[in-house]
């Protein structure tokens, strides 16, 4: 079998924050790819503003480097399970994976998730134990953990013989020895292992074309761009080809542009052969999983499996008293256009119409997936409201099932009792416990996704910020009856519209936690804090102090209020209850009751009780 020995296709996979994007940066720097004058920004692959800020990868990216006359295509993948749809499709495009594992943290929930996807595709693995320079590094134990994970996930004998490279991507060093003092100031050991272990693509360029779309991009100039791999044959600019659609129909089109990858750029190319990873344009409605073939030899590849959404939220136009003040795009038409345009590139997202022309049900892979969409829209100038996230219940053979997540917690031993108790209240079941012997414990639970909505805030305060929690979708299991989790405390709801005053806040701050500071504009029905008890109470924090002409003995003492608790967008989405909305504008995130007037709220609550 003939192979293209000067080409390799490899994906970098890892748990979030284990350093894969930094590793790709180093591979780019140390290969024969970038010009001397081409300075590389830190984590250059994370090009999106939110990726830069949060230090996470959301969209899969591809780059290519040149090393010793070999062209190596590298796919940088997300570590978060919410973006698992991206990871799965990338596995189809490559012949091997580089699994990056933190030398202290070891295997984590997403390590398990991404490795499982790679082993299912029978890909050749290389393991890079990263951050070897950490004083707390424990490389030998971590390699054992990785081996156990391979065995647990059913790896075959060849996959179990994985080579290990030890590296510090941040310092640009690597070696084949676990001894940190033997690190070489280069990434050659990683490159050499890729060339030696990852199989070169089969060269069947003479056969009829098969190109499958795995990722989508969009450009205002050329429309949709399909990114994927040429599995067979050759494709040239100007070719008349057939696109096999997901519904079984075919459409003919002409290839107007082919793009290859080199460094951080896309370069126009005239032709691509079997094994190449390319982007192509010319077809407006091209989708992930569709196959491009010759017009006279239609032979589509199996359609790619895309993980179904597990969580949904209702997106609505903003109808609060402050609607339209802070946003650029506020109408239902603009909102709908924006949501539909997101479907151009995000295949794990679903958008459905509702009976109301001002509301849509948007389904995604998790809270992070949906909150990043909301954050992007907010930054683009959109104003909107969203409801509390809900899990999607599915029917399997007549049994109603809900998504369950695998939760891994690393925490100081002293908080173990509280964690186990709080998760068992949320119907979590402990499946593993490891005491690391240094005062830290690792706990693994299987818990309904429903019970985890809003849990992270409670978890952080319970462990005083020392606990680390990671969770990833595991499977659908029969629905557990009754309500699980959710917020235990009620809210403080404003009865007035106006500006919050120091005097008004002082009058109610002993009732709970305040979310707003003096001078903040408030409207009736807006949530201004969390009650320390279970019920909602109405408060007036716009109250002014009565002015009198009597001088006070302690007049010069300044009134001091507690610092208000500022909720982030994610915390706000987790906080809201069933009868509440989160109002999002480019400037503010506000929490509000769906029914703003107190009297009308009480009437509606009575009606619901009678039902």
Q: What is the DSSP letter of 184?
A: B
Quote the DSSP letter at residue 382: B
Q: Which residues contact 500 (CB under 8 A, 6 or more apart)?
A: 516, 517, 518, 519, 520, 521, 522, 528, 541, 542
Instruction: Tell whether 344 is in a known binding site.
Output: no
Q: Tokens 């995000």 sit at which residue?
A: 346
Report CA 592 to chain centroid distance, whole Å: 26
Nearest to 112 by CA among 453, 402, 408: 408
Token reading at 167: 């590296």
Task: Confirm whether residue 116 is marked as ligand binding.
Answer: no
Annotated binding residue 133: yes
DSSP state for residue 209 in the 8-state scheme? P
Contact 442, 410 (CB under 8 A): yes
131 is in an annotated binding site: yes
How many whole angstroms separate alpha carbon 70 and alpha carbon 68?
Answer: 5
Instruction: Tell me the sheet residues that pair with 167.
Output: 174
d(CA 352, CA 306): 18
End-to-end C-alpha distance for the chain, whole angstroms = 71
Q: Is 20 assigned to a binding site?
A: yes
Could you give the CA distance from residue 410 to residue 469 in angstroms, rounded to a whole number? 7
**In whole angstroms, how far apart are CA 277 and each of 95, 182, 260, 407, 452?**
12, 36, 7, 35, 39
Q: Name the DSSP letter for residue 511.
A: G
Query: How many angstroms separate the CA atoms of 487 and 575, rounded?
Result: 7
- Bridge-partner residues for 360, per DSSP? 315, 353
- Which uninterrupted H or E stretch holds 533? none
369 among the known binding-site residues?
A: no
Strand partners, 468: 410
Binding site annotation covers 21? yes
Pairing of strands 521-522, 537-539: unpaired
Ligand-binding annotation for 22, yes or no, is yes
Tell me, rounded to whole angstroms, the distance of Cα 97 from its chain centroid: 20
Give the distance from CA 596 to its chain's centroid. 33
Which tokens hold the place of 472? 């990833």
Extract the annotated binding site: 17-22, 130-133
Extract the annotated binding site for GTP: 17-22, 130-133
């Amino acid at each position: 079998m003939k192979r293209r020995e000067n080409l390799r296709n490899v994906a970098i996979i890892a748990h979030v924050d284990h350093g894969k994007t930094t590793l790709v940066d180093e591979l780019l720097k140390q290969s024969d790819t970038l010009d001397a004058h081409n300075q590389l920004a830190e984590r250059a692959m994370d090009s999106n503003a939110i990726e830069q800020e949060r230090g996470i990868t959301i969209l899969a990216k591809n780059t290519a480097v040149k090393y010793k006359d070999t062209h190596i295509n590298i796919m940088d993948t997300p570590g978060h399970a919410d973006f698992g749809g991206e990871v799965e499709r990338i596995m189809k495009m490559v012949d091997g994976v580089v699994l990056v594992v933190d030398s202290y943290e070891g295997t984590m929930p997403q390590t398990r998730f991404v490795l499982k996807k790679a082993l299912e595709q029978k890909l050749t693995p290389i393991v890079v134990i990263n951050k070897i320079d950490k004083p707390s590094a424990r490389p030998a134990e971590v390699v054992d953990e990785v081996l156990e994970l391979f065995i647990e996930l059913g790896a075959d004998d060849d996959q179990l013989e994985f080579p290990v490279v030890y590296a510090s991507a941040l310092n640009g060093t690597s070696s084949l020895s676990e001894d940190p003092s033997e690190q070489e100031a280069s990434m050659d050991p990683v490159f050499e292992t890729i060339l030696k272990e990852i199989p070169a693509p089969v060269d069947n360029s003479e056969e009829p074309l098969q190109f499958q779309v795995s990722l989508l991009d969009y450009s205002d100039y050329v429309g949709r761009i399909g990114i994927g791999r040429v599995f067979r044959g050759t494709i040239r600019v100007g070719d008349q080809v057939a696109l096999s659609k997901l519904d079984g129909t075919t459409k003919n089109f002409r290839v107007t542009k082919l793009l290859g990858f080199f460094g951080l750029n896309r370069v126009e190319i005239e032709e691509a052969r079997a094994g190449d990873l390319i982007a192509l344009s010319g077809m407006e409605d091209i989708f992930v999983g569709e196959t491009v073939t010759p017009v006279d030899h239609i032979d589509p590849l199996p359609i790619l499996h895309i993980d179904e959404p597990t969580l949904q939220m209702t997106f609505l136009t903003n109808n609060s008293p402050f609607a339209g003040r802070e946003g650029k795009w506020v109408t239902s038409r603009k909102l709908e256009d924006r949501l539909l345009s997101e479907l151009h590139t995000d295949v794990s997202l679903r958008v459905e119409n509702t009976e109301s022309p001002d509301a849509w049900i948007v389904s995604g892979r998790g809270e992070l997936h949906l909150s990043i969409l909301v954050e992007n829209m907010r930054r683009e100038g959109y104003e909107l409201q969203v409801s509390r996230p809900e899990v999607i219940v599915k029917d399997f053979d007549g049994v109603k099932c809900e998504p369950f997540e695998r939760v891994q917690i690393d925490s100081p031993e002293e908080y173990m009792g509280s964690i186990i108790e709080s998760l068992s209240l949320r119907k979590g079941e402990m499946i593993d416990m490891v005491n690391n012997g240094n005062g830290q414990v690792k706990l693994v639970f299987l818990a309904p996704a429903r019970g985890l909505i809003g849990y992270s805030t409670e978890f952080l305060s319970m462990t005083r910020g020392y606990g680390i929690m990671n969770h990833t979708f595991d499977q659908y299991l029969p629905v557990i009856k009754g309500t699980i989790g959710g917020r235990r405390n009620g809210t403080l709801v404003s009865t007035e519209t106006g500006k919050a005053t120091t005097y008004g806040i002082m009058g109610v701050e002993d009732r709970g936690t305040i979310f707003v500071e003096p001078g903040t504009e408030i409207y009736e029905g807006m949530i201004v804090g969390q009650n320390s008890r279970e019920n909602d109470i109405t408060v007036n924090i716009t109250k002014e102090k009565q002015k009198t002409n009597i001088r006070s003995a302690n007049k010069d003492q300044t009134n001091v209020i507690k610092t208000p608790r500022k909720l982030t967008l994610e915390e706000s989405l987790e906080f809201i209850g069933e009868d509440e909305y989160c109002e999002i504008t480019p400037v503010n995130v506000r929490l509000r009751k769906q029914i703003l007037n107190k009297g009308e709220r009480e009437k509606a609550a009575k009606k619901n009780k009678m039902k």
